[in-house]
Amino acid sequence: MANPRIRALTWWRKWAKRDWVIAAVGLTIILFSLTLLFDSRKPDDSSIFSRSSVDDHVPLTLLHRAKATGAFCLDGSLPAYHFQKGFGSGSNNWLLHLEGGGWCNSIGTCNRRKGSSLGSSKYMDRLVTFAGILSRHSSQNPDFYNWNKVKIRYCDGASFAGHPESEFKNGTKLFFRGQLIWEAIMDELLSLGLSNAKQALLTGCSAGGLATLIHCDDFRDHLPKDATVKCLADAGFFLDEPDILGSRTLRAFYDDVVKLQCLFPEEIIKNVRTPVFIVNPAYDFWQIQHVLVPIQSHPHGNWKRCRLSIKECNSSYIETLQGFRGSLLKALREFQKSEDGGIFINSCYIHCQTWLPETWHSPSSPRINNKTIAESVGDWYFNREASKLIDCAYPCNPTCYNMDFTGRL
């Protein structure tokens, strides 16, 4: 999800740990920002943190023109983005990345969220590192390295889809303006050269992956008819699955988001006209921890270690996880028939994979049929070959990065 560094696709389930969304948002941010604890394959000194240069640090730009349209973050501050200009053959090509970071489903959770970078530009880092799919280095990002690249910051709590008609006038001073933020950002970028794009890719991770699917066709409609325009959703395919006790708390949660922010969910992937690529781990740790096995589903803590590390799961728990993988593949069955669609489903215990070099494209990146995610996406985008790759079941893939949070016990 988010790092200082699907209308929904599917939408359903309360998160666990203390306070529904705040817990999910906070946990994911902390995990990705501070504790990228891979299993035995930990990154060495060649990791993103030591490899980045000054050119990789991209400044924050506040969207001043948003004030006239009422496009505000939850707290009323200006939305923002980071822009890195393309060069050479990529000068007229654009890649937009929608930041993730969960959702808020109540006045309370949104009110608390507005005191963070996920609800206010006041708390956003003024410099962020562009890596993975945002990298300007060909060795790390072979097909998109020299494109114009934009990281769009997420501060509305509803995947850039909230609408002001639903705002509560009860003194909380919350602004549900995600749709307006999207429109204002597009207007800004179109004025910066996006209107002349020859090739373009809209992408996002987690809540940003969901937002990518929500806005994919609108993105296409803003660009020249002769431009090649496609969308990539990373870890944004949230399953409508019961947890281990049979409850569908995520569905109830999204119902609250809809009522609060006018986010009208439907399974839009069936209706998106623009070509879409789905990147998702079969064992998405965020969904395992908050959809399949939320804290309240195992009050005695019997799933505790398995939730933190797939290596700690016994055969019975693995069987349950394999059932979750089966549900994902079943949900994607129709999409797999799409001529224009692409898929990369690996058998890793991780969440977002496109914005880290270690998982996007490096000598040790996760592979299926010896292809990295970057190579698979590139093959699909440039029509080099069909790219629908589905991994065998865990633990078959030795190239996986499997997140391990047992060190936090």
Q: Is residue 10 part of a domain?
A: no
Q: What does the pLDDT read at residue 54?
A: 61
Which residues does residue 231 pair with via DSSP β-bridges, in sequence order?
202, 276
pLDDT at residue 4 greater than cutoff 50: no
Q: Is residue 9 part of a domain?
A: no
pLDDT at residue 8 greater than cutoff 90: no
What CA–CA distance (Å, rounded) separates 254 from 128? 30
Q: Is residue 2 part of a domain?
A: no
Q: Is residue 190 part of a domain?
A: yes
Q: What is the pTM of this model?
A: 0.85
State how many domains the chain has: 1
Q: Is residue 143 part of a domain?
A: yes
Q: Domain range for residue 387?
A: 20-408
Q: Is residue 12 part of a domain?
A: no
* CB contact burial 360-385 (16+ within 10 A = b; e otherwise): bbbebbbbbeebbbbbbbbbbbeeee
- Note if 351 is an active site residue: yes
Q: One of 215, 351, 391, 404 is an active-site residue; which one? A: 351
DSSP 292: I
Q: Note the pLDDT tens digit of each residue in 63-97.
A: 999 999 999 999 999 999 999 999 999 999 999 99
Cβ(236)–Cβ(206) under 8 Å? yes
Q: One of 206, 347, 365, 387 is an active-site residue; which one? A: 206
Q: One of 284, 290, 361, 391 is an active-site residue; which one? A: 284
Q: Is residue 15 part of a domain?
A: no
- Note if 284 is an active site residue: yes
**Strand 148-152's sheet: what is its strand order?**
127-129, 57-62, 80-84, 148-152, 93-98, 199-205, 228-234, 276-281, 342-346, 388-390
Q: Is residue 5 part of a domain?
A: no
Q: What does the pLDDT read at residue 248?
A: 75
Q: What does the pLDDT read at residue 60?
A: 98
